[in-house]
Amino acid sequence: MHIQSLPQAGCRASAQAWRTHAEVLRGHAQVSYLTEIPRGVLTREAEAADRQADHWLDAAQEDQAMHLGAFFRRHPRVAPAVDILQDLLG
- Look at residue 65 and tell me whether its pLDDT is greater than 90: no
Which has the closest alpha carbon to 51: 11, 13, 15, 9?
Answer: 15
- Within 10 A of 81 (CB to CB), how many other CB atoms are there? 13
Return the pLDDT at 58.
86
Boundaries of every domain in the chain:
3-89
Let me know if 68 is exposed, middle or buried by CB neighbors in 10 A (0-12, 13-18, 19+).
Answer: middle
40-61 pLDDT tens trace: 999 999 999 999 999 888 888 8
25: three-class secondary structure by DSSP: helix
Q: pTM (2 decimals)?
A: 0.66
5-40 pLDDT tens trace: 667 788 888 999 999 999 999 999 999 999 999 999
